[in-house]
């Protein structure tokens, strides 16, 4: 049952990321395309980006706390499950959100913006391949975390 729940958590979080990207692309359309560049524009986009990230983090933590609490095992196993669940939902969100958001704003699937610090680092490090590297890293980490989870807890 725990394995099915773990898979379900991943599917539901990927769906959440999909619809979250549609919503964010819709509200940010005017900021990206019509609002003149200014300090206020950058400040508002930074606030939106950071508050959105905090909101997603809170949801990830709530899901992970609930799921790890359902494990009837030692505190160290519950902590391990919390960390894996938190990380895997984060990578699913990052992967699905970024791809759907890029497509929603008329970009190629591997487009990454220049507002997030990690994206800026990836662009600096990998140039035009940054989006592909980011997606490949997400898929790899998701696969690795699933292998670890199902190997150690099944």
Q: What is the pLDDT of residues 1-29, one digit of tens each?
A: 778 888 998 999 999 999 999 998 888 77
The 10 Å Cβ neighbour count of residue 47 is 10
What are the pLDDT digits (tens) for 84-122? 999 999 999 999 999 999 999 999 999 988 777 788 899
pLDDT number for residue 67: 80
CA distance between the termini of the chain: 10
Question: How do the domains of the chain map onto residue ranges?
Answer: 2-26+40-153
Rounded CA separation 80/108 (Å): 36
Give this prediction's pTM: 0.84
Q: Is the pLDDT of residue 32 over 80?
A: no
Rounded CA separation 132/139 (Å): 11
Rama region for 81: left / alpha / beta (φ>0; ψ in -120 to 50; rest): alpha
User: Could you tell me the pLDDT band of residue 35, with boundaries at 50, 70 and 90?
Assistant: low
Q: Is the pLDDT of residue 38 over 70?
A: no
What are the pLDDT digits (tens) for 58-76? 999 988 888 887 777 788 8
């Amino acid at each position: 049952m725990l394995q099915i729940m773990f898979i379900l958590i991943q599917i539901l979080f990927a769906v959440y990321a999909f619809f979250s990207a549609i919503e964010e692309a819709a509200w940010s359309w005017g900021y990206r395309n019509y609002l003149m560049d200014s300090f206020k524009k950058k400040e508002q986009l930074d606030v939106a980006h950071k508050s959105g990230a905090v909101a997603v983090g809170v949801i990830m933590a709530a899901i992970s706390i609930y799921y790890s609490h359902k494990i009837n095992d030692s505190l160290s196993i519950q902590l391990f499950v919390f960390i894996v669940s938190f990380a895997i939902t984060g990578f699913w969100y990052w992967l699905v959100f970024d791809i759907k958001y890029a497509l929603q704003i008329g970009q190629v699937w591997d487009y990454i913006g220049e507002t997030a610090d990690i994206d800026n680092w990836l662009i600096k490090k990998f140039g035009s391949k940054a989006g592909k590297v980011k997606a490949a890293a997400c898929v790899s980490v998701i696969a690795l975390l699933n292998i670890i989870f199902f190997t150690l807890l099944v």
